Amino acid sequence: MKLITAIIKPFKLDDVREKLQELHIDGMTVSEAKGYGRQKGHTEIYRGAEYVVSFLPKLRIEIVVRDDQVGIAVEAIRAATNTGHIGDGKIFVSPIERAWRIRTGESDNDAL
Protein backbone atom coordinates (compact mmCIF):
# COMPACT_ATOMS: atom_id res chain seq x y z
CA MET A 1 0.00 0.00 0.00
CA LYS A 2 1.11 3.54 -0.71
CA LEU A 3 0.05 6.98 0.49
CA ILE A 4 -0.24 9.49 -2.33
CA THR A 5 -0.10 13.09 -1.17
CA ALA A 6 -0.78 15.79 -3.74
CA ILE A 7 -0.55 19.54 -3.22
CA ILE A 8 -2.74 21.20 -5.87
CA LYS A 9 -4.48 24.41 -6.84
CA PRO A 10 -7.93 24.56 -5.16
CA PHE A 11 -9.92 24.89 -8.40
CA LYS A 12 -8.54 21.53 -9.64
CA LEU A 13 -10.11 19.42 -6.86
CA ASP A 14 -13.23 18.39 -8.80
CA ASP A 15 -11.11 17.37 -11.81
CA VAL A 16 -8.94 15.14 -9.60
CA ARG A 17 -11.96 13.58 -7.89
CA GLU A 18 -13.63 12.79 -11.23
CA LYS A 19 -10.45 11.21 -12.68
CA LEU A 20 -9.95 9.02 -9.61
CA GLN A 21 -13.61 7.95 -9.57
CA GLU A 22 -13.28 6.86 -13.22
CA LEU A 23 -10.49 4.53 -12.03
CA HIS A 24 -12.65 3.25 -9.13
CA ILE A 25 -10.27 4.78 -6.60
CA ASP A 26 -12.64 5.91 -3.90
CA GLY A 27 -11.97 7.88 -0.77
CA MET A 28 -9.68 10.78 -0.17
CA THR A 29 -8.85 13.26 2.53
CA VAL A 30 -8.65 16.92 1.56
CA SER A 31 -7.13 19.65 3.71
CA GLU A 32 -6.60 23.32 3.09
CA ALA A 33 -2.95 24.30 2.96
CA LYS A 34 -0.86 27.36 2.29
CA GLY A 35 2.59 27.42 0.82
CA TYR A 36 4.87 28.46 -1.97
CA GLY A 37 7.60 27.07 -4.15
CA ARG A 38 8.82 28.65 -7.32
CA GLN A 39 5.76 30.91 -7.38
CA LYS A 40 7.17 32.95 -4.48
CA GLY A 41 3.74 34.45 -3.72
CA HIS A 42 2.32 37.57 -5.29
CA THR A 43 1.62 41.25 -4.58
CA GLU A 44 -1.86 42.55 -3.76
CA ILE A 45 -3.28 45.98 -3.01
CA TYR A 46 -5.65 46.44 -0.08
CA ARG A 47 -7.10 49.88 0.73
CA GLY A 48 -4.40 51.51 -1.33
CA ALA A 49 -1.55 49.73 0.42
CA GLU A 50 0.55 47.18 -1.43
CA TYR A 51 1.57 44.02 0.40
CA VAL A 52 3.14 40.68 -0.48
CA VAL A 53 1.20 37.44 -0.05
CA SER A 54 3.97 34.90 0.60
CA PHE A 55 1.82 31.82 1.13
CA LEU A 56 -0.65 30.87 -1.58
CA PRO A 57 -3.82 28.83 -0.98
CA LYS A 58 -3.47 25.16 -1.92
CA LEU A 59 -5.23 21.90 -1.19
CA ARG A 60 -3.56 18.79 0.19
CA ILE A 61 -5.10 15.56 -1.06
CA GLU A 62 -4.25 12.23 0.57
CA ILE A 63 -5.28 8.84 -0.80
CA VAL A 64 -4.11 5.33 0.06
CA VAL A 65 -3.99 2.83 -2.80
CA ARG A 66 -2.80 -0.70 -3.46
CA ASP A 67 0.71 -0.96 -4.85
CA ASP A 68 -0.61 -1.87 -8.32
CA GLN A 69 -2.73 1.34 -8.46
CA VAL A 70 0.05 3.84 -7.76
CA GLY A 71 1.03 4.51 -11.37
CA ILE A 72 -2.49 5.07 -12.68
CA ALA A 73 -3.47 7.18 -9.66
CA VAL A 74 -0.42 9.44 -9.95
CA GLU A 75 -0.95 9.85 -13.70
CA ALA A 76 -4.64 10.68 -13.16
CA ILE A 77 -3.78 13.37 -10.59
CA ARG A 78 -1.02 14.77 -12.81
CA ALA A 79 -3.28 14.88 -15.87
CA ALA A 80 -6.11 16.54 -13.92
CA THR A 81 -3.93 19.25 -12.38
CA ASN A 82 -1.41 20.07 -15.11
CA THR A 83 -1.89 23.56 -16.54
CA GLY A 84 1.70 23.95 -17.66
CA HIS A 85 2.27 26.91 -15.34
CA ILE A 86 4.37 27.33 -12.22
CA GLY A 87 2.37 26.43 -9.13
CA ASP A 88 0.57 23.35 -10.49
CA GLY A 89 1.70 21.46 -7.40
CA LYS A 90 3.56 18.35 -6.30
CA ILE A 91 2.79 14.65 -5.84
CA PHE A 92 4.53 12.51 -3.21
CA VAL A 93 4.31 8.73 -2.75
CA SER A 94 5.10 7.14 0.63
CA PRO A 95 4.87 3.55 1.89
CA ILE A 96 2.10 2.52 4.28
CA GLU A 97 2.96 -0.35 6.61
CA ARG A 98 -0.51 -1.26 7.88
CA ALA A 99 -4.12 -0.05 7.64
CA TRP A 100 -7.32 -0.96 9.48
CA ARG A 101 -10.96 -0.19 8.87
CA ILE A 102 -12.20 0.75 12.33
CA ARG A 103 -15.82 -0.36 11.83
CA THR A 104 -15.11 -3.92 10.61
CA GLY A 105 -11.56 -4.61 11.75
CA GLU A 106 -10.47 -5.40 8.17
CA SER A 107 -6.81 -4.74 7.61
CA ASP A 108 -4.38 -3.75 4.88
CA ASN A 109 -5.72 -4.00 1.28
CA ASP A 110 -9.12 -5.19 2.56
CA ALA A 111 -9.40 -1.99 4.60
CA LEU A 112 -9.09 0.18 1.50
What confidence score (pLDDT) does residue 44 get?
Answer: 63
Mean of the per-residue pLDDT values for the chain? Answer: 90
Spatial neighbors of 51 by CB under 8 A, at least 6 apart, are 43, 44, 45
73: amino acid identity, one letter: A
Mean pLDDT of 1-12: 97
Least confident of 43-47, 76-80, 92-96: 43-47
Handedness of CA 19, 25, 27, 28 (dihedral sign): negative
What confidence score (pLDDT) does residue 51 get?
Answer: 65
What confidence score (pLDDT) does residue 82 get?
Answer: 96
Mean pLDDT of 25-31: 95
pLDDT, tens digit, 9 for 90 and up, residues 33-71 = 988 777 666 666 667 776 676 778 899 999 999 999 999
Contact 48, 41 (CB under 8 A): no
Neighbouring CB atoms inside 10 A of 94's CB total: 11
SS3 92: strand
Model pTM score = 0.84
